Amino acid sequence: MPGEGERISVKTMEEKNELIEQMYKNMQKLVDAGISPFGQGFPNVQHVEDVVKEFSEGKECRIAGRVMASRVMGKSIFMDLRDWTGKVQLYGNKTALGEQMFGVLKGLDIGDIIGVDGKLFKTHSGENTVQITSFTVLSKILRPLPEKWHGLKDVEMRYRQRYVDLIMNDTTRKIFKTRIEIIKYIREYLNNKMFLEVETPMMHPIAGGAAGKPFQTHHETLDIDLFLRIAPEIYLKKLLVGGFDKVYEINRSFRNEGISTRHNPEFTMIEVYEAYSDCKGMMDLTEGMVRYVAQKVLGTEKITYQGKEIDLSKWEKVSFADLMKNSFGISVDDPLPSWVDKLKKKGVNIEGEKVSKTQLLNIIGDLVEPTGGAHPVFVVDIFKELSPLAKEKKDAPGITDRFELFMGGMEIANAYSELNDPIDQKERFLAQAKENPDAKVDYDFINALEYGMPPAGGLGIGIDRLTMILTDSPSIRDVILFPQMRPE
């Protein structure tokens, strides 16, 4: 569909329909020639990237991919063939292929997928080229690809038809290859430190482990309501109780909330838990992992995000409690009416007469969220009301041993010293339930804690947002292959 401010003319639609009609005619020509338009398997293919890297004059090769350009020159034809690793030039000759197959080659449309057996040679201009000795039609395109520069300006079309975006856009393919590498090296870093990768349920009887509105479903056989997980935290901590001291899960989680450049209802994060560690241990782990991934994926610790340089070799700590005191004059032990009064005096819009501390803290968090910075920032000393699963600091009542990591103005990670006191945990759950009638007390988790969970550090990192930073992508939709979209 057209982008904002664009219109598809009647002439453009007519031209597109004519192209589609011609493609169907070209398919029929293949059928009439006894050639299947959708081919069979074409095993033992080599990656184009490997063929080019290991180039040797006269060497035989076998490749497959999509035709992206075609130039007929009398009895010869040059084509560009691309697979997911790269692009290479093809050369076909009427004498070598025979009149019929040369005619088939000439009749291919841009976007057709073919398999090629050939020999390597260099053209007079020095370009690595595959001379086609034989080829097979593997899949006939029946809808024209967009014109490269005009057809990809419609951002919404790129998200809705990611398959077309990936065909046409080198930058898009690079972003998702980078995302794959980011996850690969996160695993490598943690596996090298002897963490175990585990899997936990995606359907939960109680929506817990984080703040967020869940998606609800119903299991017919058990006749129970379930929730798509908003976080895997509770189950991973149960594994700590069971004796798995170092675990992590790269997980899909779901929150039935807004969509923006930083939020998607379905998202990917990693949660890590280490027995006998704490918030400081998670801070060290986070810094080490992010720097390791950046070096492996980008080859540097100095990156640019949306025009701002970020130096990953320097990390800063900022006190959330100090921000509250300095920005709003609010202390953690101030009574609620005082909070409301001080916020209103600072111009914060508060709707309704009764506002919970949690709501107030969320408002404040949005207002004081770091908006930039030349390096990553750990925000520490976060109020207890925002951290129902975190340990309280011994020397600072009402303050938890927790951090949130900000990079490029975005929250990237969250970690804390895990609460392992079942009595304290139960009291916090009950307080939450009293404040929020929809909240349920997770008595099974309390029961697990009563069996003894070792002191531990826990960490959650948003994979999508980290990928945004490391690929310099302005929107979370740019780093999710198929982001959620409103129906057309």
Question: Boundaries of CATH 2.40.50.140 in the chain?
Answer: 10-145
pLDDT of residue 342: 85
Q: Please write down the HEC assignment for all residues of 392-435.
A: ECCCCCCEEEEEEEEECCEEEEEEEEECCCHHHHHHHHHHHHHH
CA dist 137 and 116 (Å) reads: 9
Which residues have a Cβ under 8 Å from the Cβ of 211 and sit 6 or more positions away? 230, 358
Mean pLDDT in order along the chain per 10 residues (488 residues): 39 75 95 94 97 96 97 96 97 96 96 98 96 98 80 77 93 96 98 98 88 90 94 96 98 90 93 97 98 98 93 92 87 81 81 63 64 81 82 89 90 93 92 81 95 97 97 96 89
Hey, what amino acid is at 175?
A: I
pLDDT of residue 269: 96
pLDDT of residue 187: 98
Residue with tokens 């899997």: 199
Residue with tokens 């969509």: 259
Hey, what amino acid is at 364?
A: I
pLDDT of residue 291: 98
Q: Which CATH superfamily is domain 10-145 in?
A: Nucleic acid-binding proteins (2.40.50.140)
Joined together, the tokens standing for residue 308 give 């701002």
Question: Boundaries of CATH 3.30.930.10 in the chain?
Answer: 168-478
Beta pairing partners, 272 = 248, 459
- Residue 68 in 3-state DSSP? strand
Residue with tokens 């690793």: 85
Question: Hey, which bits of 148-293 come out as E strands?
Answer: 196-197, 203-204, 216-219, 224-228, 246-254, 266-275
CA-based nearest residue to 419, from 444, 385, 454: 454
* CATH, range 168-478: 3.30.930.10
CA dist 77 and 95 (Å) reads: 12
Quickly list DSSP for 117-173.
EEEEEE-TT--EEEEEEEEEEEE---SPPPPTTTTT--HHHHHHTHHHHHHH-HHHH
CA-based nearest residue to 209, from 414, 487, 471: 414
Q: Do the beta carbons of residue 10 and residue 43 sit within 8 Å?
A: no
Residue with tokens 């930039």: 372
